[in-house]
Amino acid sequence: MSSRPDPARTFVAALAVHPVKSLRGVPVEAAHVRPEGLAGDRRWMLVDPAGDTLTARRVPQMLTMRATPRDGGGVLLERDGAAPLEVDVPDSSGHAEVTLTGAGAAAPASQDAHDWLSAALGRPVRLVHQSAPTRPVRAQDGGLAGDVVSFADAAPLLVATQASLTQLDAWIAAAARERGEDSPGPLPMERFRPNLVVGGDVTPFAEDGWTRLRIGHVELRFAEHCDRCVLTTTEPGTGRRGPEPIRTLAVHRKREGKTWFGVRMVPVTTGHVAVGDQVVVG
């Protein structure tokens, strides 16, 4: 019997957009796939006074804040204990030096945004916007000539499967029982920050072997497997850290000294995708 998924029963289970790199994002029912990723995904980021990128790897409190996309590319920033803040896309003529590889310069947001975020994190930060998505996808990350990416780590889209998370949850629960601990609840997919989750007729970690995905008129090309870091151990909403899922991934999904979950992909064609759309695996 073939292990290839049945395309009639393989579908988009979830979509998510993260407007500000390393802040919490939002689930969406539909999105437009652009060359650099989902429209509005990771077009903003926080930098320190030297222009270095801040992420939740270094600053877990970033995951206590949520960024919701607004029409026109702006964002709504929210956190407990503070009034929300609407931030408009800045004038592209503004200039803020950033050190993120390939990013060059970015446009700084308003001073209100800088102040709001600095107060939240207890350190001076600036919010900057990618005026034009011309940052190249590096060859070592699976990029080809002309491929571009937002402020995402490496490639335009991160894809995961519900089947893989279900298997990971089972491994975590089994290990807890062996240690005589209460079985923890399932991890939210948000821990892994994928843009697109595939559900349905998929075996756990089948995505490791995928080369292409087609969703309607949208085609995605495999770029690289996604190695996972301490960010996945950070609880969204609280910023608290624990040993999972890295502890369990290190047992079952470790190679080359790294742990792996999900794949990064590059759009070959662009267009509209929605939750429930059929996914054809190649």
Q: What percent of the chain is modeled with pLDDT above 70? A: 97
Residue 26 predicted with pLDDT over 90: yes
pLDDT at 8 over 80: no
Tell whether the model's pLDDT for residue 202 goes beyond 90: yes
Residue 1 lies in a domain: no
Give pLDDT tens digits for 64-108: 999 999 999 999 999 999 999 999 999 988 889 899 999 988 999
Q: How many domains does the chain have?
A: 1
Cβ-contact 215, 273 below 8 angstroms: yes
| pLDDT, tens digit, 9 for 90 and up, residues 126-180 | 999 999 999 999 999 999 999 999 999 999 999 999 999 999 999 999 999 999 9
Query: How far from 245 is each of 8, 35, 119, 199, CA to CA, in Å?
Result: 31, 31, 30, 20
Please report, rounded to a whole number, the percentage of residues in the chain having pLDDT higher than 90.
Answer: 92
Please determine, for residue 45, whether its predicted confidence score (pLDDT) is greater than 90.
Answer: yes
pLDDT-derived band at 2 (thresholds 50, 70, 90) equals: very low
User: What's the pTM?
Assistant: 0.94
CATH number at 256 reads 2.40.33.20
**What is d(CA 232, CA 158) in angstroms, rounded to the nearest whole number?**
14
Tell me which H or E stretch contains 31: strand 30-34
* pLDDT at 93 (0 to 100): 86
Does residue 223 lie within any of the structural domains?
yes
pLDDT at position 4, please? 59
Query: Which of the two residues, 6 and 112, has the higher pLDDT score?
Result: 112
Query: How would DSSP label each residue in 120-163?
Result: HHTS--EEEE-SS--EEPPGGGT--TT-EE-SSSSSSEEEEEHH
Nearest partner of 197 among 255, 157, 256, 151, judged by Cα: 157
Amino acid letter at 130?
Q
DSSP assignment of 39-100 equals TTTT-EEEE-TT-PEE-TTT-GGGGG-EEEE-GGG-EEEE-TTS--EEEPPPPTT--EE--S
Task: Give the residue, 53 or 94, on which the prediction is more confident.
Answer: 53
Q: Are 280 and 214 in contact (CB under 8 A)?
A: yes
Q: How many CB atoms lie within 10 A of CB 176?
A: 15
Cα distance between residue 130 and residue 128, in whole Å: 7
To which residue do tokens 């893989």 refer?
A: 164
The answer to whether residue 134 is domain-embedded is: yes
So what's the pLDDT on residue 1? 38
pLDDT at 6 (0 to 100):
64
- Run of H or E residues at 16: strand 10-17
Rounded CA gap, 12 and 277, in Å?
5
Give a yes or no: residue 2 inside a domain.
no
Domain that includes residue 176, residue range = 7-281
CA atoms within 13 A on the CB side of 143: 20
Domain presence at residue 63? yes
pLDDT tier for residue 5 given thresholds of 50, 70 and 90: low
